[in-house]
Amino acid sequence: MKDNHVPNRKPEWLKIKLNTNENYTELKKLMRNKELHTVCEEAKCPNIHECWGERRTATFMILGDVCTRACRFCAVKTGLPTETDLEEPKRVAESVKAMNLKHVVITAVARDDLNDGGAFIFAETIREIRKSSPLTSIEVLPSDLGGNIESLKLLMDAKPDILNHNIETVRRLSDRVRSKAKYDQSLKFLYNAKQFQPSVPTKSSIMIGLGETTEEIIEAMTDLRAHDVDILTIGQYLQPTKKHLSVEKYYHPDEFTELKKTAFEKGFKHCEAGPLVRSSYHADEQVEAAAKNAENKENYA
């Protein structure tokens, strides 16, 4: 791989195609009418125009839009959250049905002010979606829920179709990049989720471009596989504002191709790797591909 360098400006391959068509404006109006938040907007995701404008998919962000943590990579606002909205799960389910989604991703701000970290609202959201859209597959992307094992069990008892929790970066950089969340605690969280529901695939994501080495990225892959994680996404870190961590390197698409190859060699059932790949990017395809990969391995075992 190429040596790290301090970038002056974004390269050509990071240019984003804007698409404010009817799908985009309709979804934006629906979110506002239902008083819902999406990580697409709050985290300034570069894929919002593709997902909303072309694929008609979205990642719902529950438990409000104020996070109790202040991670140095994240654009979501931080502070003291308001009270929990017990009607939110039903509104999310209504929106999922109105959008006729075949796969939905539910994420949330970290809520360290809540005893269960928000696990109950996650579980209720899953149950409400199951009632109104029984054919929709559900992916959840929670925080580490403060490392509370009972909170994780409460969430997994609702049986999501996939459990996604991001380690975000390599071990050496974790304390600098993340707030409160610990690298080993995230690995344990992913492992315990699989213990509670062995049939539910687990997934994690790594941002690169923060000063990590190739060896450290591969070490993170090894750590995830040692904790039985099935799916991996790898994307380029993009600095949301001048107050956030700077980009140390822009990886070339060919380097992402190499990392994807390594991930499959490590035993991941599926990997998405690319400059604009994010944890929820093409999530429906990731789940389907992982299922097919696992099935093929069984057939040829």
Q: What letter would DSSP give residue 116?
A: T
- Asked if residue 67 belongs to a known ligand binding site, the reply is yes
- Asked if residue 271 belongs to a known ligand binding site, the reply is no
Contact 156, 196 (CB under 8 A): yes
Contact 243, 105 (CB under 8 A): no
For the beta sheet containing 103-108, the strands, ordered from the edge strand earlier in sequence to the opposite edge, are 37-38, 59-62, 103-108, 137-141, 162-164, 202-208, 231-236, 270-274
- Asked if residue 280 belongs to a known ligand binding site, the reply is yes
Q: Please report, as a single letter, which amino acid is at residue 57.
A: T
Q: In whole angstroms, what is the distance from residue 97 CA to residue 91 CA? A: 10
Q: In whole angstroms, what is the distance from residue 298 CA to residue 250 CA? A: 38
The tally of CA atoms less than 13 A away on the side-chain side of residue 33 is: 9
Which residues are CB-neighbours of 223 under 8 A, at least 6 positions away?
167, 171, 187
Which residues are CB-neighbours of 137 under 8 A, at least 6 positions away?
102, 103, 104, 161, 162, 284, 287
Contact 10, 250 (CB under 8 A): yes
Annotated binding-site members for [4Fe-4S] cluster: 40, 45, 51, 67, 71, 74, 280
Annotated binding-site members: 40, 45, 51, 67, 71, 74, 280
